[in-house]
Amino acid sequence: MKRRHLLTTAARLATLCLSLSAWADAWPTKPLRIIVPGGPGGVIDIRARWIAQRLAEALRQAVVVENRPGAGGNVGMEAGAHSAPDGYTLTLIHQGTIAMNPHLYAHPGYDPLSDFAPITRLGIGPLLLAVHPSLPVASVWDLVDLAKARPGQLNFGSPGIGTPPHLAGELFKRVTGIDVVHVPYKGGGQAASDLIAGHVQFAIEGLNVQLPHVLAGRIRALAVTGPKRVATLPSVPTMSEAGWPQYEFQGWVGLAAPAAAPREVVERLYQEIHAILSGPEAKEWFAAVGADTGDEPPAQFERDIRAEYAKWGRVIRDAGIRAE
């Protein structure tokens, strides 16, 4: 009887595995959505729409971008974490929502390490320090000198509390010893609009957002925050070249599914995105804003996320930063 029971159980498991395999092969049979934990016009929104268009072509299904801003990205992340784990809802993640927010907020509404199945990183690259043209500065040193001459009078904008541009600004404050005021918005588009209008004096934001306005003369670029200059702004120095070698900040974005999503679907998504990111179009598109494609397999991406989580936890605790 025991042997018969074991054989029956094995047969059922084999049938279940075949059913899951067949289901994964047929997937997707309906449109997908990518939840963006931020408003339209920001770096993560721009990159989400770029990958959504190409993923739709690869999967032959529509891929819809859904903006869910609020609470520094926590609103969108919570929605993504608790969505149906069927492979049809993905979340655009970045180091702010995965590695920073959980240390900044007492109750973010999700667990970054247990609520998501990482798929892959899309891109990694520097941010850009830019000022409104009315500000009488031509270099990072000029900006620091002006801020020290006017303590508490200059503002910098970001897409929200706890976002990478916010933490990049806080790091800039600590490195330079200046007293400036953070103005959080509900998305990168709103923050960029207020910088252009002069309601905030500077921002440290992604090149996707700032570059068109720099080229149009609406804002002035002072430095990039990565280790090398970018091809689209060859005359703009790195922060190290501008006199601040102790300052470097690289931003990244990636995709994740809910934790219980089928492993076969996560692997299928990785393979499709890997093919997209390996092509010359992706290399050229990311290089235009000084970034590199990520493209780590899911297991490696998860290890990187855990390392980032630990790293920023130490930084935030040591700095005593809290968002609520």
pLDDT in tens, 251-281: 899 999 999 999 999 999 999 999 999 999 9
CA distances to 36, 42, 44, 54, 92 from 49, rounded to whole Å, are 10, 11, 9, 9, 10
User: Which two tokens mark 284?
Assistant: 């050229």
User: Which two tokens mark 217?
Assistant: 């003369």
Residue for token pair 């770096």: 43
Looking at residue 269, its pLDDT comes to 98
Domains of the chain: 32-124+251-319 (3.40.190.150), 126-224 (3.40.190.10)
pLDDT in tens, 120-131: 999 999 999 999
For residue 222, pLDDT beyond 50 = yes
Looking at residue 22, its pLDDT comes to 54
> What average pLDDT score do residues 14-19 get?
47
> What average pLDDT score do residues 224-248 get?
95
pLDDT in tens, 32-87: 999 999 989 888 999 999 999 999 999 999 999 999 998 889 999 999 999 999 99
Looking at residue 74, its pLDDT comes to 94
Cβ atoms within 10 Å of 300's Cβ, excluding its own: 14
Beta strands in the chain (DSSP E): 32-36, 63-67, 89-94, 116-131, 155-158, 181-184, 202-206, 220-224, 250-258, 292-293
User: Which two tokens mark 130?
Assistant: 């830019």
Looking at residue 16, its pLDDT comes to 44
> What average pLDDT score do residues 186-193 get?
87
> What average pLDDT score do residues 133-157 get?
97
